[in-house]
Amino acid sequence: MAEMTYLEAINLGISEEMARDEKVVIFGEDVGGDKGGVFGVTKGLAAKYGDNRCFNTPLTEGLIGGLAVGLGVMGYRAIGEFQFADYILPATNQILSEARTMRYRTKGDWTAPIVYRTPYGGGVRGGLYHSQSTEKIFAGQPGLRVVTPSNPYDAKGMIKAAIRSDDPVIFYEHKRLYRLLKAEVPTDDYIVPIDKANVVREGSDITVISYGMMLQYAISAAEKLAKEGIDAEVVDVRSLYPLDRETLVNAAKKTGKILLVTEDNKEGSIMSEIAAMISEDALFDLDAPIKRLAGPDAPSMGYSLTLEREFLVNEDQVIEAMIELAEY
Amino acid sequence: MKTLKKSGLSKEEMIQAYYEVKRGRRLDERLWQLTRIGKTSFNISGQGAEVAQVAMAMAFEHDKDIFLPYYRDMTACLVWGMTSKDIILGSFGKDADPSSHGRQMPNHYGSKEHNIVSFASTVSTQMPLATGVAYAAQLEGKDYIALTTTGEGSANQGEVQEAMNFAGVKKLPVIFVVENNNYAISVPIEEQYANENMSDRAHGYGFEGITVDGNDFTEVYLTFKKAVKDARSGKGPKLIELKVYRLTSHSADDDQTIYRSKEDIEKMKESDPIDVFEKQLIDEGYLTQADMDKMDEEIRAEIDKATDEAEAMPDSAPESLLDEVYAK
């Protein structure tokens, strides 16, 4: 075990997989050389595994998307990094038209095991184009997996599982968590499944479902409210698509009171789908309407600190919503 | 036009080339026929490009080079190893169809067995994939080459620029081909691009671009032979533009008489490249008219048999709709 950040945990996970399997290669803008990516997630990998296995691409997201598929069909496990989740859009055609369907459209003759990594989320004064939650674009796209870890332990275990997965995976990394979270992480080989939600706190009064930065608020809020007699179950979605329906619905049934918290816009987010699932499977177990706490339906947060704060859900709002729900 | 002798191919190889050209034409005629009588629902044709496609494909080693074709490249796929029956299975959308097992529309050729990578309908997305295939060859230190083709209309897609740019930077063993038939469905070249030749674009990416008359078998063959030699010896990519005819409408759903003059179509049909090739073969003593007639009969019999066999194959089981969405 060693104490490390979320960012260091992802770096270690990738490094272990590159050491284990020479077919693992990683690339993207600024990814190679000594820089190791705009946030430094790939730092040291080029030195360890060579400039051929960890390399820079030109500023071409479509190419990053398709290069990974071409390597995938040749038996490689390619990891393509996009600098920001907002910048994936030029590669969307490659991800949805090529990577997602390669297995399906050949009934398994050709496959493309790929991890597309990208930082997402706000709270770093990134303005509209460096703060967005684009995961909803790739949710509801059968053939693709969309995942995000919420702590360093999961970060390492899930990146390893994503690399070993035979499906194309979009691996969202919350950029505020990169250096914010530190925790003990095993330095030996382990995997965290990329198709399972995680009950991070057992509780009996209300259920809070979230992921990423917002989940950290939910955990912290739950601990505070426990002292006031509100016992909250907290669930980390982790697998944003396909969703782990069973775990999510069971957690909802358990307390009958559900709060869904996302940093994304309220309408059309991952949480909208979770709400629909709970309604379908657990309507008569509910003791209150499903409650959503989310960003407003503006394109994203502004650069100005006032606009960024206005957009983002904060811990106080989570606490307030949990109390309201508990008292319903 | 260069003599066939100058190609350096043996008599047997030249006769094989003619067989492939003629088989491509007859098979395509069969696909149209099946569409017209309502047994299949779609066809998109390479008629007019058969000579160029055979000359191109014969320059490669089909058991090791990887082909990433587009929808007009049926004849090139035959040279790469696919059978008439394989193609007709795809047209019927049967489960045994090696291209997609009935999941893609006809003309989306692919075969794992024959090193032909499946492609999407979103045109030219195969070009970045080809760079991935070529990068894999470079990583492994192997001397296989990626060949990828597209039309002059789809060559204007942004992903083509991204792919060629990266291939130039990394000196990848990939050959990009634009089959320029003057029309993107109904849009003539004057409305598609402003430079004189499509191949001029290669210079901007730091490699050679060549425009070749697709009716000139020997010129096409020798151009590819040299490109293959260069790519295999680490000299990097090439862009080859083949000037070809499109004798048919864009697809079974299009009618080119709406946007092309009768005279233009008549004139083009009068200089059918297969007629030109046949005249060369007779003049240079490779085949007599009687030999050709005999071969034509054999080809027709082969296609009849393939049609009957393919039609008798089972359709996909409805429940297989859910197969291979994800890896098991």
A57 touches B: beta carbon within 8 Å: yes
CB-based contacts of A199, cutoff 8 Å, min separation 6: A233, A234, A235, A247, A251
Residues of B at the A interface (Cβ-Cβ below 8 Å)? 66, 98-101, 103-104, 108, 110-112, 117-118, 120-122, 125-139, 146, 158-159, 162-163, 165-166, 169, 320, 323-327
Task: Output the six-digit token pair for B9.
Answer: 């191919």
Chain A hits for B165, Cβ within 8 Å:
58, 60, 63
Q: What share of chain A is helix, strand, coil (3-state, %, to 5)?
A: 40, 20, 40
The 10s digit of each residue's pLDDT in A251-272 is 999 999 999 999 999 999 999 9
Sole residue written with tokens 């909802």 = A252
Question: Going by C-beta distance under 8 Å and a sequence separation of 6 or more, which residues neighbour residue B234?
Answer: B171, B173
**Which residue carries 């191919």 as its tokens?**
B9
pLDDT at residue A11, as a whole number? 98
Closest listed residue to residue A113, CA positions, set A159, A64, A61, A76? A76
d(CA B130, CA A148): 30
pLDDT at A324: 98
Query: Residue A109 in contact with residue A69, Cβ under 8 Å?
Result: no
* A241 contacts chain B (CB < 8 A): no
Residue A25: φ, ψ to 5°: -130, 155
Nearest neighbour of B118 by CB, restricted to A53, A60, A102: A102
CATH class of B4-308: alpha beta
Q: Which residue of B has its CA nearest to A107?
A: B324
pLDDT in tens, chain A (328 residues): 999 999 999 999 999 999 999 999 999 999 999 999 999 999 999 999 999 999 999 999 999 999 999 999 999 999 999 999 999 999 999 999 999 999 999 999 999 999 999 999 999 999 999 999 999 999 999 999 999 999 999 999 999 999 999 999 999 999 999 999 999 999 999 999 999 999 999 999 999 999 999 999 999 999 999 999 999 999 999 999 999 999 999 999 999 999 999 999 999 999 999 999 999 999 999 999 999 999 999 999 999 999 999 999 999 999 999 999 999 9
Q: How many CB contacts within 8 angstroms connect chain A with chain B?
A: 138
Smallest CA–CA distance from A165 into chain B, residue: B327
**Rounded CA separation A217/A294 (Å):** 13
Closest CA to B170 of A251, A140, A58: A58
Give this complex's ipTM: 0.96
Structural domains in chain A, CATH included, are 1-183 (3.40.50.970), 196-325 (3.40.50.920)
Q: What is the side-by-side order of every strand in the sheet holding A291-295?
A: A198-201, A232-236, A206-210, A258-265, A291-295
Question: At B114, which amino acid appears?
Answer: H
Residues A4/A183, Cβ–Cβ less than 8 Å: yes
Rounded to an integer, what distance in angstroms lies between the CA atom of residue B202 and that of residue A14? Answer: 36
**B310 burial class (0-12, 13-18, 19+ CB within 10 angstroms)?**
buried
Of the candidates A43, A53, A130, A136, the residue annotated as catalytic is A130
Which tens digits make up the pLDDT trace of A268-287?
999 999 999 999 999 999 99
Residue B229 burial (CB count, 10 A): 12
Q: Inter-axis angle of helices B11-36 and B289-312, to 10 degrees?
A: 50
pLDDT at A197: 98
Tell me which of A74, A164, A194 to substitute to probe the interface with B (most B C-beta atoms closer than 10 Å).
Answer: A74
Shortest CA gap B73–chain A (Å): 18
* Chain A nearest C-alpha distance from B165 (Å): 8
Distance CA A11, CA A15 (A): 6
Give residue-wise pLDDT tens across range B263-294. Answer: 999 999 999 999 999 999 999 999 999 999 99
What is the pLDDT, as a whole number, of residue B328?
Answer: 87
- Is B128's CB within 8 Å of A65's CB? yes
pLDDT confidence of B237, banded at 50, 70, 90?
Answer: very high
SS (H, E, C) B193-246: CCCCCHHHHHHHCCCEEEEEECCCHHHHHHHHHHHHHHHHCCCCCEEEEEECCC
Q: What is the 3-state secondary structure (H, E, C) of A146-164?
A: EECCCCHHHHHHHHHHHHH
Residues of chain B contacting residue A104, judged by C-beta atoms under 8 Å apart: 103, 324-325
